Structure 1
């Protein structure tokens, strides 16, 4: 409800709304000209950069919400500043900063869980359809292309995660202009990346596919799949960018709906194109491509939301900020690239020791790991949004409570996963393999009994890594990611494989996870959200670009 107010009613003792006077540095404001129709800007010395003020000037009337707290302009870059008043901005509240911590967690986590699990399920369904209805050679062709797509996804993920963490901090500071700028830069950078990689990939197609391991038997299938899927690369990568930025602006439901839509469409199209129309590997590629384009179109609905904080602008400056923010997403890039390297190394070792059955067994183990770890990854996704914004707003107590909730849920999910693996191993493995493959089933059960410690500690390491990333600590989070996903697994795998052939070399993975967890605990103890946290972060923080 508003009331018409004139200048004469503004006279008296003014304050910043707290009753104590002073400068409202933390209160974002509107800026309006005297006719209240044109929005202008000011940079008063005591206000944040790009803060906004609403200026009803002397002799003019203004419409204000009842109970609005006012104080006179103290300085500004307008000739009318001395005759003006500042009025708090009327805008939507940020639930990440104001809602109860527990409800904020579930509001962010549940949509993330739904979307990520839908995406994970889609990948598993793709493998099932291709392997059962197109053939093992076609499945191998797709698998050989995945490392190239993984590198492309890793670069995009690095830019996106670094950008969303910085945007979240800006939103917490009420600097929506800066948040929109980093959103625009990230989107533009990924568009350029897609154009360059698509053009060069199609131009050097044969050389690239040969380098990925394609031989004369599998190369035609690789070419068919590659040409179609690269035509949709833009949709896949831009969906990644939009998904995370839409979530950081407070629209997790839209992001989840987009991914669930893509997953459902992928399932239907896989059946139609592969089983019904029998298009083979081309049908698999078209189903995947179309199901990647639809989520992007759904996410574009964000641009029609009138209260969105992130505004896309084609003209940008200070591009160095993109690279500094990308550095903060380096740990995510390391995780994506390292996963491909470790997968290749494990496949090579299993082929030498156990043959095709060993590769099949570790594939089932990977499916089970992905399902469990993606649930915890969704926790880290919500964690990054909440903590980055509360870090920008300086709300230490909310950061601490949210972190403890994330750790508790990660422990619960890990405990349930271990219980299922140890008590219902045969049932779970049989869901992925036919009863005829009894040797593979027994081998998979044996691997899971060696592998279960991974579920005990890897989830907590992921939560701690996301926490450090949200606090703009890229070096620390990258050290954990590099140790967990590349350095320790490679060293321990090669050591056990060559120096201790009598031991199962797969033990290297649980050993690497336990060592990484100890390292993550060290960083968590150093940067735990207590009274000295902000002082430590300020000492490490580079100058803002």
Structure 2
């Protein structure tokens, strides 16, 4: 097996330059994915109509669930591969990569078949009214065909990054995002193909993105080799379990937003929903940056864990903590100095009530920014150290259990208090839990060089 030119960078390069080498492409890649989804909404909303935008929005929970499942396998498997790379066991890394890719492609193809057979039943479960079925169907059928391609790209992205080539992986996402913008402009804006045009743009853009990913296998000096594996498939379950926190993060965000919108509508009406939407854009973009740092930590920590380099793990964690705290401070400063500008970007001048609510929400929510990124960082560290239960506990607490519980408590038992106070309280309570878990599982003096395939969390 040949080695990657990035080997020495992850395991022996200068801490800060190595940290930013992996973090910056990771952030750019996540922002590219985010931009692609926003672009679809812009083109559909402006050139097809409000009903079409509603039709696409109704399908988002279904595709989010599938993406979350792929993310669980991709992150859990790539962290496992990163540890193997740190142990200089390229054969084992290639084996887990091949298992993950085969499994996700098989899952995607099966899912496409099921989706096409039970289309109307899926629409009903998503809460779509029957009058929208005809509008949703062309888009859904084409995107269902694109799903195996997209899920395969997710797996390739995380494993190529884990191998030490974040620039190649990110360039594929950026290329796909740019292709999606141009194809939407062609099919939807210029040719007027409607929702079917938007779906074809997604399918072709995902195909281009996958082609760029697959160009990795033309590189002569690489450590990942695809192989048809005949044994050891139980390891796939361990990999998925290790990535369960990513699945929780992915699906729970939509559930929490759904609950907030419902409570806002009951308490403050449409203006409350619109005002929270403005604030949520800022939260969402900041979380993409924090998740970018966390994704880089997955491979930096896992590889050094496999190599037994505990001091490097501590230094990378310190670099991640400093970066998150600096970004959080800048974000809070932005809220207090340019809050009006942010509100004006999303709300027209006539929306006076919504604008005032949005400004008040800034003052309620700013305390969550110093700790939400730290919670994500610690969750990523626990995943990379092969502690899936601890990582899932942090993710489950900060993204689902505490927010939903506290939102309902504020609504029912503290009606005079702003319900959005529940979000910073949830993050700070999670911070106490995450800090305790980090202290419990901080890098130890001895790390097993050759652990058993199914590493026990307590080991």
TM-score tier by shorter-chain length is: over 0.9
2:324 is aligned with 1:406: no
Alignment of 1:29-428 (within 5 A): 93-428=7-342
Q: TM-score by structure 1 length?
A: 0.79
RMSD over aligned Cα, in angstroms?
2.1
C-alpha separation in 2, matches of 1:90 and 1:207: 49
Q: Which runs of 4+ in 1 moved over 4 A?
A: 89-93, 532-535
Distance 1:270 1:431, change over 3 A: farther
The more displaced of 399-408 and 345-354 is 345-354
Note the C-alpha offset of 1:292: 2.1
Contact 1:249 1:309 in 2 (8 A): yes
Contact between 2:4 and 2:163, CA under 8 Å: does it hold in 1? no
1:440 maps to 2:354 = yes
Tell me how far 1:368 sits from its aligned partner: 1.4
Residue 523 (structure 1) aligned with residue 444 (structure 2): no
Q: Which has the larger helix fraction?
A: 2
> Structure 1's 369 and 223: CA in aligned 2 closer, same or farther, altered over 3 A?
same
Instruction: Count the aligned residue pairs.
Output: 454
Equivalent pair of 2:243/2:388 in contact (CA under 8 Å)? yes
What is the distance in 2 between the residues matched to 1:350 and 1:485? Answer: 19
8 A contact 1:232–1:292 mirrored in 2: yes
Deviation, structure 1 residue 518: 1.0
Pair 1:167–1:108, CA change in 2 (3 A): same
Distance, in Å, in 2 between the alignment partners of 1:135 and 1:435 is 23
- Between the aligned partners of 1:410 and 1:463, the Cα distance in structure 2 is 9
Residues 25 and 166 in structure 2, CA contact (< 8 A), matched pair in contact too: yes
Which residue is equivalent to 1:455? 369
Structure 2 stretches lacking a partner, 5+ long:
none
Residue 112 of structure 1 deviates from its aligned partner by 1.2
CA distances 1:393-425 after superposition (whole Å, capped 9, x unpaired):
001111111110000001011111111122111
Per the TM alignment, residue 438 of structure 1 is displaced from its structure 2 partner at its CA by: 3.3
CA contact (8 A) 1:114 1:256 kept: yes
Which whole-Å CA distance do the structure 2 matches of 1:175 and 1:265 have between them?
37
Q: Measure how far apart 1:532 and its partner are.
A: 6.4
SS at match of 2:229: coil
**CA-CA distance at 1:444 after TM superposition:** 2.3
* Cα distance in 2 between the residues matched to 1:282 and 1:448: 39
The whole-number CA distance in structure 2 between the counterparts of 1:420 and 1:90 is: 44
Change (3 A) 1:282 1:363: farther
Structure 1: gaps of 5 or more residues: 1-29, 31-88
Shift of 1:279: 2.4
**Superposition deviation, residue 541 in structure 1:** 4.1
| Structure 1 residues 205 and 346: alpha-carbon distance in aligned structure 2, compared to 1, 3 A threshold | same
Which structure would you say has the larger Rg? Answer: 1
The structure, 1 or 2, with the larger RCO (C-alpha pairs under 8 Å, 6+ apart) is 2
| TM-score between both structures, scaled by the size of structure 2 | 0.94
2:387 match: 473
Would the alpha carbon gap of residues 91 and 214 (structure 1) be closer, same or farther in structure 2, given more than 3 Å must change? closer
